[in-house]
Structure 1
Amino acid sequence: MKVLLYFEGQNVIGKSGIGRALSHQKRALASVGIEYTLDPKSTDYDILHINTYGPKSLLLVNKAKKMGKKVIYHAHSTEEDFRNSFIGSNQLAPLVKKWLVKLYQQADHLITPTPYSKKLLRNYGLTQPIAAISNGIDLKRYYPDARKEAAFRKHFGLSKEQKVIICVGLFFERKGILDFVEIAEKMPEYTFIWFGDVPMASIPRNIRKIVKKDHPQNVLFPGYIDGDLIEGAYSGADLFFFPSYEETEGIVVLEALASQQQVLLRNIPVYEGWMIDRKNCYMAEDNQIFLTLIRELVNHRLPNLSMEGFRTAQSKSINQIGKELEAVYQAVLDVPYDHQMYAKVVK
């Protein structure tokens, strides 16, 4: 079989979780020997696996259906995770939902990252088969590396003793950026770093002001950073703190787990079944408890759960995701496939 992987708007959202999902898909397919192309002009493919939601995406879906190709839509986005993001996102959210449903209805099969996002899609009235398949993680890339960790500390002028709390995400209110800054202000003895970027003109004024100037001195916004520095930050920090209010999975959580980092999350429905408080992470729901947990964790007064978290990441490795995608592709093409694997992702 041959798959056309399509991603519209690389320049706009290529640095987001969806952008990294495409990279993971390519490696996942390669790991199980499935041929793929990224050329939307191609016609010699069997399945269109589409990741994005713009007008070009819809045109490509229509073209594929006219050619009799099978269409799989990767439902990374929902109305819920569109809210509290860009300027006007809350007002546009109902329209976005209608647009997403229109696109998703064109597919022969849907893939979405978690059972939680699958439940949201069912609540939209979508009736096609839906597989809950993690976006996956490249374990080798994020394995702790002393050289990368030293480069991270040196780049930001951090001593070995300096306690550092990091987060990775776009500058969206739903990501918990306001809470991150508020908590940092009450903990001036620690350094808080928020990695990520988004066009400033696209976000609300209050968020823009916080990122540009109205934040405590112990908060850093270095923008989007990849490669050794971000990988060193994941494992070289003292804590990964992700106070997001809404996710369909949270690739950055997988990256932190793969880095064998301590992880502190907001207790939200998307983590049900795979992230468990006091087992492979710590969770809270309000800032006062976050404050207490951060102090306890960075000073090693709570059990270190990083290896349990790493085992969770291992269960979502690129190779495993490749096998799960292959089972869906084979089922869509109605060729012999691993029924047990397929049952696992559509249950």
Structure 2
Amino acid sequence: MKVLLYFEGEKILAKSGIGRALDHQKRALSSVGIDYTLDAECTDYDILHINTYGINSNNMVKKARKLGKKVIYHAHSTEEDFRNSFIGSNQLSPLVKKYLISLYSKADYLITPTPYSKELIKGYGITVPIASISNGIDLNRFERSNEKEKKFRDYFNVKTGQKVIICVGLYFERKGIIDFVELAKQFPEYRFIWFGHTPMYSIPRTIRTIVKEDHPKNVEFPGYIKGDIIEGAYSAADLFFFPSYEETEGIVILEALASRQQVLVRDIPVYKGWLQDKVNCYMGTTNEEFADLIEALIEDKIPNTCDSGYEVATQKSIERIGHDLKKIYEIVLNEKNIVRK
């Protein structure tokens, strides 16, 4: 078995969750001994496993069909998570939905990260079989490290006893960036650091203004940082606060859980079945609830859920994901097992 992993615009999307999903797929396949290639010109593969939905992605599907190859579409994207992102995203989202339906319907099988995103896509009327498989997490990479934590503290000049709250995400309203900044205003004694980057020309003016100038002194936007510093931040911070309104999974949450970090998220449907309030994380809905929880968690007034959160991450290790992907590949290669509904 040989798989062609195709990822259009890899350099552009490398800083996003989808970009990290590709890296996880490569590791997952290697962990179970599946041969793969990233060469789009390759023709001696058995399955095209495609991750993106640009024009070239569409052409790759057409090419694969002409070659008689099987096609698996990794449905990372939905209309719902396209909204409230780039300039004009809300106006374009109905067209994006139609385009996604057209693309996804051409596959032999769909893979999507969570049961929630699976139900969304089924709701589009797509009849292609769908499997829910997490994007996975590299547990070793996010194992707590004193050296990495020191690099983070040194880089940001974190003082002894200073409380730090972090988030990782693109500069999208959907990600809850406005709420993150509003809550920071209520806690001037804490540092709030938002890791991540999005080209300024692509996001609405309100978000550009927040990132560039309209935020309190205790909020920092250092941009996209990778390696030891961000990995040290995950474990050294006092809280990972992710107020996103819509996700298909949220790789950054898995990264925080794998770091044994305390996680606070918005109570949204995507977490149903794998995150549980007061068990492996804390959940809120309004800024008032978030404010109460932030203060209680930072000041140790309520129990932390770090150990239970880590157990969630272990269930989504890259090795486990490799076995899940292998099962789907085998089903697709044995086409008689595919039942279209």
**TM-score when normalising by structure 1:** 0.96
SS at 1:194 equivalent: strand
Counterpart of 2:331 in structure 1 is 331
Residues 1:291 and 2:291 are matched in the alignment: yes
**Following TM superposition, by how much is the alpha carbon of 1:159 offset from its aligned partner in structure 2, in angstroms?**
1.1
**Following TM superposition, by how much is the alpha carbon of 1:300 offset from its aligned partner in structure 2, in angstroms?**
1.2
Counterpart of 2:134 in structure 1 is 134
Counterpart of 2:73 in structure 1 is 73
CA–CA separation in structure 2 for the residues paired with 1:173 and 1:321: 30
Q: How does 1:112-261 map to 2 (within 5 A)?
A: 112-261=112-261
CA–CA separation in structure 1 for the residues paired with 2:331 and 2:223: 42
CA–CA separation in structure 2 for the residues paired with 1:150 and 1:292: 29
Contact 1:280-1:312 at 8 Å conserved across structures = yes
CA–CA separation in structure 2 for the residues paired with 1:180 and 1:218: 11
Counterpart of 1:316 in structure 2 is 316
**Following TM superposition, by how much is the alpha carbon of 1:160 offset from its aligned partner in structure 2, in angstroms?**
2.4
Deviates more, 1:326-335 or 1:100-109: 326-335
CA–CA separation in structure 2 for the residues paired with 1:80 and 1:234: 27
SS at 2:217 equivalent: coil
Counterpart of 2:22 in structure 1 is 22
**Following TM superposition, by how much is the alpha carbon of 1:304 offset from its aligned partner in structure 2, in angstroms?**
1.3
Q: Give CA-to-partner distance per residue, 1:274-306, whole Å, 9 cap, x none.
A: 000000000000001101111111111111110
CA–CA separation in structure 2 for the residues paired with 1:245 and 1:182: 15
CA–CA separation in structure 1 for the residues paired with 2:260 and 2:43: 43
CA–CA separation in structure 2 for the residues paired with 1:250 and 1:182: 22
Cα distance, 1:122–1:335 mapped onto 2, change above 3 Å:
closer
Amino acid at match of 1:229: I
Counterpart of 2:83 in structure 1 is 83
Percent identity at matched positions? 67
**Following TM superposition, by how much is the alpha carbon of 1:12 offset from its aligned partner in structure 2, in angstroms?**
1.9
**Following TM superposition, by how much is the alpha carbon of 1:136 offset from its aligned partner in structure 2, in angstroms?**
0.1
Counterpart of 1:345 in structure 2 is none
SS at 1:72 equivalent: strand
CA–CA separation in structure 2 for the residues paired with 1:127 and 1:144: 43
Contact 1:111-1:132 at 8 Å conserved across structures = yes
CA–CA separation in structure 2 for the residues paired with 1:157 and 1:134: 35
SS at 1:142 equivalent: coil
CA–CA separation in structure 2 for the residues paired with 1:131 and 1:268: 21
**TM-score when normalising by structure 2:** 0.98
SS at 1:221 equivalent: strand
Contact 1:171-1:198 at 8 Å conserved across structures = yes
Counterpart of 1:276 in structure 2 is 276
Amino acid at match of 2:326: E
Counterpart of 1:13 in structure 2 is 13
CA–CA separation in structure 2 for the residues paired with 1:219 and 1:287: 17
Amino acid at match of 1:249: E
SS at 2:246 equivalent: coil
Q: Give CA-to-partner distance per residue, 1:39-77, whole Å, 9 cap, x none.
A: 000000000000000000000100001111000000000
Residues 1:94 and 2:94 are matched in the alignment: yes
Q: Give CA-to-partner distance per residue, 1:232-289, whole Å, 9 cap, x none.
A: 0000000000000000000000000000000000000000000000000000000011
Calculate the aligned-residue CA RMSD, in Å.
Answer: 1.4
Q: In structure 2, list runs of 5 or more residues that go unmatched.
A: none
Q: Give CA-to-partner distance per residue, 1:182-219, whole Å, 9 cap, x none.
A: 00011100000000001000000010011011100000
Amino acid at match of 2:253: V
How many residues end up aligned between the 2 structures?
Answer: 339
CA–CA separation in structure 1 for the residues paired with 2:126 and 2:276: 29
CA–CA separation in structure 2 for the residues paired with 1:221 and 1:15: 15
**Following TM superposition, by how much is the alpha carbon of 1:335 offset from its aligned partner in structure 2, in angstroms?**
8.4
**Following TM superposition, by how much is the alpha carbon of 1:128 offset from its aligned partner in structure 2, in angstroms?**
1.1
CA–CA separation in structure 1 for the residues paired with 2:146 and 2:293: 26
SS at 1:140 equivalent: coil
CA–CA separation in structure 1 for the residues paired with 2:46 and 2:238: 46
**Following TM superposition, by how much is the alpha carbon of 1:14 offset from its aligned partner in structure 2, in angstroms?**
1.5
